[in-house]
Structure 1
Amino acid sequence: MNLYPVLGTTDVQASAGFYREHFGFDVTFDTDWYVSLRHPLPPHAEIALLDAAHQSIPADFRVPAAGVIVNIEVDDVDVLASALEAAGVPIAQELRSEGFGQRHVIVRDPGGVLVDVITPIPPSDEYAASFAADGAAG
Protein backbone atom coordinates (compact mmCIF):
# COMPACT_ATOMS: atom_id res chain seq x y z
CA MET A 1 0.00 0.00 0.00
CA ASN A 2 1.06 3.57 -0.64
CA LEU A 3 -0.47 6.64 0.98
CA TYR A 4 0.32 10.25 0.17
CA PRO A 5 -1.43 13.61 0.41
CA VAL A 6 -2.70 15.46 -2.65
CA LEU A 7 -2.93 19.15 -1.81
CA GLY A 8 -5.19 21.49 -3.74
CA THR A 9 -3.43 24.73 -4.61
CA THR A 10 -3.93 27.79 -6.79
CA ASP A 11 -0.38 27.61 -8.15
CA VAL A 12 0.72 24.04 -8.78
CA GLN A 13 4.15 24.90 -10.17
CA ALA A 14 5.06 27.30 -7.33
CA SER A 15 3.99 24.75 -4.70
CA ALA A 16 5.90 21.95 -6.45
CA GLY A 17 8.97 24.19 -6.71
CA PHE A 18 8.80 24.85 -2.97
CA TYR A 19 9.00 21.13 -2.09
CA ARG A 20 11.73 20.50 -4.69
CA GLU A 21 13.90 23.47 -3.71
CA HIS A 22 13.63 23.34 0.07
CA PHE A 23 13.12 19.63 0.77
CA GLY A 24 14.79 17.82 -2.13
CA PHE A 25 11.73 16.17 -3.72
CA ASP A 26 11.96 14.92 -7.32
CA VAL A 27 9.18 15.20 -9.89
CA THR A 28 7.64 11.89 -10.97
CA PHE A 29 4.73 13.34 -12.99
CA ASP A 30 4.20 16.91 -14.18
CA THR A 31 1.30 18.61 -15.94
CA ASP A 32 0.02 22.15 -15.67
CA TRP A 33 -2.70 21.00 -13.23
CA TYR A 34 -1.01 18.16 -11.26
CA VAL A 35 2.53 17.45 -10.06
CA SER A 36 3.56 14.31 -8.20
CA LEU A 37 6.74 14.42 -6.11
CA ARG A 38 8.81 11.69 -4.49
CA HIS A 39 11.79 12.06 -2.18
CA PRO A 40 14.91 10.23 -3.42
CA LEU A 41 15.92 8.93 0.02
CA PRO A 42 14.21 6.04 1.82
CA PRO A 43 11.43 5.77 2.80
CA HIS A 44 10.71 7.78 -0.37
CA ALA A 45 7.98 10.09 0.95
CA GLU A 46 5.52 11.32 -1.66
CA ILE A 47 3.30 14.36 -2.04
CA ALA A 48 1.24 15.68 -4.94
CA LEU A 49 -0.08 19.12 -5.82
CA LEU A 50 -3.34 19.57 -7.71
CA ASP A 51 -4.97 22.65 -9.22
CA ALA A 52 -7.76 23.20 -6.69
CA ALA A 53 -10.18 24.19 -9.50
CA HIS A 54 -9.54 21.13 -11.68
CA GLN A 55 -12.59 19.35 -13.11
CA SER A 56 -11.44 15.99 -11.67
CA ILE A 57 -12.48 17.26 -8.23
CA PRO A 58 -16.19 17.27 -7.38
CA ALA A 59 -17.50 20.81 -7.94
CA ASP A 60 -18.38 21.42 -4.28
CA PHE A 61 -14.80 20.66 -3.21
CA ARG A 62 -12.79 22.80 -5.63
CA VAL A 63 -10.98 24.83 -2.99
CA PRO A 64 -7.32 25.10 -2.00
CA ALA A 65 -6.11 22.97 0.89
CA ALA A 66 -6.77 24.58 4.27
CA GLY A 67 -6.40 23.36 7.81
CA VAL A 68 -3.71 20.92 6.68
CA ILE A 69 -0.29 20.53 8.26
CA VAL A 70 2.35 18.50 6.42
CA ASN A 71 5.06 17.11 8.72
CA ILE A 72 8.54 16.69 7.29
CA GLU A 73 11.09 15.05 9.57
CA VAL A 74 14.72 16.05 8.99
CA ASP A 75 18.07 15.29 10.62
CA ASP A 76 18.81 18.89 11.69
CA VAL A 77 15.89 21.30 11.82
CA ASP A 78 18.13 24.13 13.07
CA VAL A 79 20.15 24.13 9.85
CA LEU A 80 17.09 23.86 7.62
CA ALA A 81 15.19 26.53 9.59
CA SER A 82 18.05 28.97 8.96
CA ALA A 83 18.07 28.12 5.26
CA LEU A 84 14.29 28.52 4.96
CA GLU A 85 14.38 31.88 6.69
CA ALA A 86 17.30 33.06 4.51
CA ALA A 87 15.32 32.02 1.41
CA GLY A 88 12.40 34.19 2.51
CA VAL A 89 10.02 31.29 3.22
CA PRO A 90 7.17 32.59 5.40
CA ILE A 91 7.67 31.43 9.00
CA ALA A 92 4.36 30.68 10.76
CA GLN A 93 5.97 29.54 14.02
CA GLU A 94 9.54 30.18 15.03
CA LEU A 95 11.96 27.34 15.78
CA ARG A 96 11.39 25.85 19.22
CA SER A 97 11.62 22.66 21.27
CA GLU A 98 8.51 20.91 22.57
CA GLY A 99 8.13 18.62 25.59
CA PHE A 100 6.33 16.06 23.41
CA GLY A 101 9.63 15.26 21.68
CA GLN A 102 10.06 17.64 18.78
CA ARG A 103 12.26 20.54 17.85
CA HIS A 104 10.48 22.24 14.98
CA VAL A 105 9.69 25.26 12.86
CA ILE A 106 6.43 25.74 10.96
CA VAL A 107 6.53 27.42 7.56
CA ARG A 108 3.91 28.15 4.91
CA ASP A 109 4.10 26.77 1.37
CA PRO A 110 3.02 28.92 -1.62
CA GLY A 111 -0.50 27.43 -1.47
CA GLY A 112 -0.94 28.34 2.21
CA VAL A 113 -0.40 24.83 3.61
CA LEU A 114 1.53 24.70 6.87
CA VAL A 115 4.71 22.61 6.79
CA ASP A 116 5.97 21.49 10.18
CA VAL A 117 9.69 20.75 9.85
CA ILE A 118 10.69 18.45 12.70
CA THR A 119 13.71 16.86 14.31
CA PRO A 120 12.79 14.36 17.04
CA ILE A 121 14.27 15.06 20.47
CA PRO A 122 13.86 13.17 23.74
CA PRO A 123 10.41 13.87 25.22
CA SER A 124 9.95 15.27 28.70
CA ASP A 125 9.01 12.87 31.47
CA GLU A 126 5.43 14.11 31.15
CA TYR A 127 5.18 12.75 27.57
CA ALA A 128 7.58 9.79 27.63
CA ALA A 129 4.88 7.30 28.70
CA SER A 130 2.68 8.36 25.76
CA PHE A 131 5.03 6.73 23.24
CA ALA A 132 4.70 3.11 22.13
CA ALA A 133 7.26 0.67 23.53
CA ASP A 134 9.35 0.85 20.35
CA GLY A 135 9.65 4.64 20.73
CA ALA A 136 7.40 5.46 17.79
CA ALA A 137 4.52 7.85 18.34
CA GLY A 138 1.21 6.16 17.72
Structure 2
Amino acid sequence: MDTKPRYQDHYPIVVTPDIRACQAFWEQRLGWSCGFASSWFVWLCSEDGSASLAFMSPDHPSAPPGPETFSGLGLCFELQVVDAKAAHADFVARGGSVGLPLTDEAFGQRRFGFRDPSGLWVDVVEQIEPQAGYWDRYMV
Protein backbone atom coordinates (compact mmCIF):
# COMPACT_ATOMS: atom_id res chain seq x y z
CA MET A 1 0.00 0.00 0.00
CA ASP A 2 1.33 3.42 -1.03
CA THR A 3 1.25 5.81 1.93
CA LYS A 4 2.76 8.83 0.19
CA PRO A 5 0.58 11.93 0.31
CA ARG A 6 -1.28 12.79 -2.88
CA TYR A 7 -1.23 16.58 -3.10
CA GLN A 8 -3.93 18.26 -5.14
CA ASP A 9 -2.45 21.74 -4.93
CA HIS A 10 0.10 23.77 -2.99
CA TYR A 11 0.01 27.49 -2.41
CA PRO A 12 0.97 30.10 0.14
CA ILE A 13 -1.69 31.92 2.14
CA VAL A 14 -0.97 35.58 2.84
CA VAL A 15 -2.82 36.88 5.89
CA THR A 16 -3.91 40.46 5.25
CA PRO A 17 -6.87 42.70 6.05
CA ASP A 18 -6.82 43.72 2.35
CA ILE A 19 -8.05 40.48 0.74
CA ARG A 20 -10.43 42.27 -1.68
CA ALA A 21 -7.73 44.71 -2.82
CA CYS A 22 -5.35 41.77 -3.32
CA GLN A 23 -7.98 39.85 -5.26
CA ALA A 24 -8.67 42.83 -7.54
CA PHE A 25 -4.93 43.46 -8.02
CA TRP A 26 -4.12 39.89 -9.06
CA GLU A 27 -7.17 39.65 -11.33
CA GLN A 28 -6.76 43.06 -12.97
CA ARG A 29 -2.95 43.43 -13.10
CA LEU A 30 -1.96 39.80 -13.74
CA GLY A 31 -5.05 38.21 -15.27
CA TRP A 32 -5.42 35.59 -12.54
CA SER A 33 -8.85 34.15 -11.81
CA CYS A 34 -10.67 33.56 -8.57
CA GLY A 35 -11.33 29.90 -7.85
CA PHE A 36 -12.95 30.49 -4.46
CA ALA A 37 -13.96 33.52 -2.44
CA SER A 38 -15.64 33.95 0.92
CA SER A 39 -15.88 36.87 3.31
CA TRP A 40 -12.52 35.94 4.87
CA PHE A 41 -10.62 33.93 2.22
CA VAL A 42 -9.84 34.16 -1.51
CA TRP A 43 -7.95 31.64 -3.66
CA LEU A 44 -6.56 32.77 -7.02
CA CYS A 45 -4.99 30.85 -9.89
CA SER A 46 -2.81 31.87 -12.81
CA GLU A 47 -4.35 31.77 -16.27
CA ASP A 48 -2.51 28.55 -17.20
CA GLY A 49 -3.10 26.90 -13.82
CA SER A 50 0.62 26.61 -13.05
CA ALA A 51 0.49 28.71 -9.88
CA SER A 52 -1.97 29.67 -7.18
CA LEU A 53 -2.05 31.98 -4.20
CA ALA A 54 -4.53 32.69 -1.42
CA PHE A 55 -5.28 35.62 0.85
CA MET A 56 -6.93 35.29 4.25
CA SER A 57 -8.31 37.89 6.63
CA PRO A 58 -6.60 38.10 10.06
CA ASP A 59 -9.99 37.56 11.73
CA HIS A 60 -10.60 34.29 9.89
CA PRO A 61 -12.87 31.82 11.75
CA SER A 62 -10.16 29.15 11.88
CA ALA A 63 -8.09 31.29 14.29
CA PRO A 64 -6.50 30.20 16.55
CA PRO A 65 -4.24 28.63 15.52
CA GLY A 66 -3.29 30.55 12.48
CA PRO A 67 -0.54 32.62 11.00
CA GLU A 68 0.05 36.21 12.01
CA THR A 69 -0.83 39.09 9.70
CA PHE A 70 1.78 39.36 6.95
CA SER A 71 4.18 42.27 7.48
CA GLY A 72 5.28 42.54 3.84
CA LEU A 73 8.84 41.52 4.70
CA GLY A 74 10.77 38.30 4.29
CA LEU A 75 8.87 36.67 1.44
CA CYS A 76 9.36 36.79 -2.31
CA PHE A 77 6.76 35.22 -4.60
CA GLU A 78 8.61 34.16 -7.74
CA LEU A 79 6.75 34.02 -11.06
CA GLN A 80 8.91 32.44 -13.75
CA VAL A 81 7.84 33.37 -17.26
CA VAL A 82 8.98 32.57 -20.78
CA ASP A 83 9.24 36.24 -21.78
CA ALA A 84 9.82 38.85 -19.05
CA LYS A 85 9.64 41.75 -21.52
CA ALA A 86 6.16 40.67 -22.62
CA ALA A 87 5.07 40.07 -19.00
CA HIS A 88 6.37 43.51 -18.05
CA ALA A 89 4.56 45.19 -20.94
CA ASP A 90 1.32 43.38 -20.05
CA PHE A 91 1.61 44.28 -16.35
CA VAL A 92 2.23 47.96 -17.11
CA ALA A 93 -0.57 48.03 -19.72
CA ARG A 94 -2.94 46.71 -17.03
CA GLY A 95 -1.99 49.64 -14.79
CA GLY A 96 0.65 47.91 -12.67
CA SER A 97 3.29 49.97 -10.91
CA VAL A 98 6.77 48.46 -11.11
CA GLY A 99 9.12 48.62 -8.10
CA LEU A 100 12.12 47.05 -9.86
CA PRO A 101 12.45 47.95 -13.54
CA LEU A 102 13.02 45.31 -16.18
CA THR A 103 16.65 44.32 -15.68
CA ASP A 104 19.06 41.76 -17.13
CA GLU A 105 21.03 40.30 -14.21
CA ALA A 106 24.59 38.95 -14.55
CA PHE A 107 23.52 35.78 -12.74
CA GLY A 108 21.16 34.82 -15.57
CA GLN A 109 17.75 36.36 -15.09
CA ARG A 110 15.76 39.03 -16.85
CA ARG A 111 13.33 40.32 -14.26
CA PHE A 112 11.13 43.02 -12.84
CA GLY A 113 9.30 43.28 -9.53
CA PHE A 114 6.48 44.91 -7.64
CA ARG A 115 4.48 44.74 -4.42
CA ASP A 116 0.83 43.76 -4.24
CA PRO A 117 -1.61 45.44 -1.80
CA SER A 118 -0.61 43.05 1.03
CA GLY A 119 3.03 44.12 0.66
CA LEU A 120 4.04 40.81 -0.94
CA TRP A 121 7.09 41.26 -3.18
CA VAL A 122 6.53 39.63 -6.57
CA ASP A 123 9.59 38.90 -8.69
CA VAL A 124 8.81 38.09 -12.34
CA VAL A 125 11.76 36.28 -13.92
CA GLU A 126 12.88 34.81 -17.21
CA GLN A 127 15.93 32.58 -17.20
CA ILE A 128 18.61 33.90 -19.58
CA GLU A 129 22.25 33.06 -20.16
CA PRO A 130 24.39 34.19 -17.22
CA GLN A 131 27.47 36.33 -17.73
CA ALA A 132 30.41 34.07 -18.59
CA GLY A 133 32.11 32.84 -15.40
CA TYR A 134 29.57 34.47 -13.06
CA TRP A 135 28.71 31.28 -11.17
CA ASP A 136 32.31 29.97 -10.94
CA ARG A 137 32.98 31.64 -7.58
CA TYR A 138 29.79 30.23 -6.03
CA MET A 139 30.00 26.60 -7.09
CA VAL A 140 31.37 24.04 -4.62
53-62 or 8-17, which moves further after superposition? 53-62
Query: Where does structure 2 lack aligned partners over 5 or more consecutive residues?
Result: 1-6
Equivalent-residue separation in structure 2 for 1:57 and 1:122 (angstroms): 46
Q: How large is the RMSD of aligned CA atoms in angstroms?
A: 2.6
- 1:129: how far off? 8.9
Is the aligned partner of 1:46 residue 2:56?
no
User: What SS is found at the alignment partner of 2:70?
Assistant: coil
Query: Where does structure 1 lack aligned partners over 5 or more consecutive residues?
Result: 132-138
For these two proteins, the number of residue pairs brought into alignment is 130
107-116 or 21-30, which moves further after superposition? 21-30
**Which amino acid in the other structure matches residue 56 of structure 2?**
L
Structure 1 residues 90 and 53: CA distance shift in structure 2, 3 A = farther
Aligned 8 A contact 1:53 1:63 in 2: no
Residue in 1 that maps onto 2:124: 117
Which digits, 9 at most, give the CA deviation of each residue in 1:92-129, with x for residues without a partner?
A: 21110112221101111011111101111112232279
Aligned 8 A contact 2:110 2:128 in 1: yes
Structure 1 residues 41 and 86: CA distance shift in structure 2, 3 A = closer
19-28 or 66-75, which moves further after superposition? 19-28
Residue in 1 that maps onto 2:40: 33
User: What SS is found at the alignment partner of 2:90?
Assistant: helix
Is the aligned partner of 1:21 residue 2:28?
yes
Aligned 8 A contact 1:106 1:117 in 2: yes
**Which amino acid in the other structure matches residue 135 of structure 2?**
Y
User: What SS is found at the alignment partner of 1:22?
Assistant: helix
Larger Rg: 2
Equivalent-residue separation in structure 1 for 2:34 and 2:69 (angstroms): 23
User: What SS is found at the alignment partner of 2:119?
Assistant: coil
TM-score, normalization by structure 1: 0.77
Equivalent-residue separation in structure 1 for 2:27 and 2:71 (angstroms): 19
Name which of 94, 97, 103 aligns with 2:101.
94
58-67 or 15-24, which moves further after superposition? 58-67
Equivalent-residue separation in structure 1 for 2:136 and 2:129 (angstroms): 8
Aligned 8 A contact 2:34 2:44 in 1: yes
Structure 1 residues 37 and 60: CA distance shift in structure 2, 3 A = closer
Aligned 8 A contact 1:54 1:62 in 2: no
Percent identity, aligned pairs only, is 27
User: What SS is found at the alignment partner of 2:20?
Assistant: helix
